[in-house]
Chain A
């Protein structure tokens, strides 16, 4: 490990489903505390890239590094499982469809993994749940079941669940895409709060306004490659690539 190594590094990532190559030699780095948006048309490989970072969709070739440790190490199956479970504790993930555990209360959704994996006591777990749920403004729903919550509330609980593992990095996979328009804002506010607290985040999103206002860097992907990347004011206002311009224009028309 060298001091100059980036916090997160993806090296020459390739991903194939049979004949179809969905990620074509992608490399990228993210610094600690940086907030990066990945945008692009559907099928561009942005979700696949995000899901490769915690090895939910294993890469066909390439390396993923987090804080000096290779995430997708080559190890015998058993050892690899141990290693990846350990790594994933440091990588929080939030899904488009929340994926809360419907058979558990909000409290247990948040504390199940820390209790099981970190062996914290019931009392510590309760404190952790209260702290994390207060953080996302869901404390008053602590003893509800997910089925009793709105979409926005579910997503905020899902964020609290991920944060309860004290991750070094948060991945957001279209966290607001499944929400009714009036519920998007409450989730965006929580994400903004995390940004202000300098959580390292990689956000796959269709919301250009949100990306522009929160992110330090925007990556535009199309056809499995990074077409353009840079600070939001450059990528959004002054894109250098035709494909970026076309995408942004179409997206803007769609939004109107």
Chain B
């Protein structure tokens, strides 16, 4: 039995809708993971111990357990204590926080690497420590980690397939639905792989633009 792609066009609108949701969940999670990463980095480096220590347990939960399990916990687990999140929201929270923890590691290192003279110059002008972090240190740290954060975001795009298991109709789940109706797994998985590849190219182009724009200011 050979490959027969003639069944694909009939499901193209479903796949496109799936691609839309994949992009939506990736972009939402990426934004959450970016700002979450900054907040987590600041907590880890500067918060008092009674915030830092519980936070470390939370961080360990996200780094030391499978993302799939985390999604189950957020979507199916939280319902039991009365928090009933829509699948999309649960997916964004799971993916966003998971990658926020990884981004936080990168941003922490970059904050420490910003020249001490920057903080000194800002403090000398009369800025508080918080103002100096916000206006001077963190913008530079973030600028320095844009390329590795970009790599994390591409990993995030690929891991977004996992939210299919909590019922978000993104690309992978759309493919599975099409396959359920046609029994043509190979064709649909290949087509969906091509979709991911194209989205990936688009993302890389956006990341390159951001990187280039941040070049001048170093």
Contact = CB atoms under 8 A, between A and B. Distances in A.
Contact of B128 (A81, A100, A158, A165): A81
Contacts of B123: 56, 85, 88
Interface of A: 54, 56, 81, 85-86, 88-89, 91-93, 95, 97, 99-104, 112-113, 116-117, 145, 147, 158, 161-162, 165
Nearest to B215: A147
A117 B130 CA distance: 13
A112 B216 CA distance: 19
Given A99-B120, A102-B140, A145 B217 contact: yes
Contacts of A147: 216-218
Nearest to A88: B126
A162 B143 CA distance: 25
29 contacts: A56-B124, A85-B126, A88-B123, A88-B124, A88-B125, A88-B126, A89-B126, A92-B124, A93-B121, A93-B124, A99-B118, A99-B120, A99-B121, A101-B118, A101-B122, A101-B140, A102-B140, A103-B140, A104-B217, A112-B125, A113-B125, A113-B127, A116-B131, A116-B135, A117-B125, A145-B217, A147-B217, A162-B124, A162-B125
B129 interface: yes
7 tightest Cβ-Cβ pairs between the two chains A and B? A99-B121, A89-B126, A113-B125, A99-B117, A93-B124, A103-B217, A88-B126
A56 B217 contact: no
B218 A95 contact: no
B203 interface: no
A161 B117 contact: no
- Greatest chain B CB density within 10 A among A91, A103, A147 is at A103
Contacts of A101: 118, 121-122, 136, 140
A199 B136 CA distance: 28
Contact of B124 (A91, A100, A103): A91
A210 B140 CA distance: 35
Nearest to B141: A103
Contact of B117 (A91, A97, A112, A145): A97
A95 B115 CA distance: 13
A83 to B, nearest CB: 11
B191 to A, nearest CB: 43
A117 B136 CA distance: 14
A56 B132 CA distance: 14
A27 B41 CA distance: 43
Given A89-B126, A101-B118, 13 more contacts: A54-B124, A85-B126, A85-B127, A86-B126, A88-B123, A92-B124, A93-B121, A99-B118, A101-B140, A113-B126, A116-B131, A147-B218, A162-B124
A117 B126 contact: yes
Nearest to B129: A81
Contacts of B117: 95, 97, 99
Contacts of B185: none
A101 to B, nearest CB: 6
Contacts of A92: 124
Contacts of A162: 124-125
Contact of B125 (A97, A104, A145, A165): A165
B119 to A, nearest CB: 9
A162 B216 CA distance: 24
A95 B121 contact: yes
B125 A161 contact: yes
B127 A116 contact: yes
A167 to B, nearest CB: 9
Contacts of B127: 85, 113, 116-117
Contacts of A86: 126
B128 A103 contact: no
Contacts of B115: 99
Contacts of A116: 127, 131, 135
Contacts of A104: 217
A149 to B, nearest CB: 13
B217 to A, nearest CB: 4
Contacts of A56: 120, 123-124
A71 B82 CA distance: 55
Nearest to A91: B124
Nearest to B130: A81
Contacts of B148: none
Given A95-B121, A112-B135, A102 B217 contact: yes
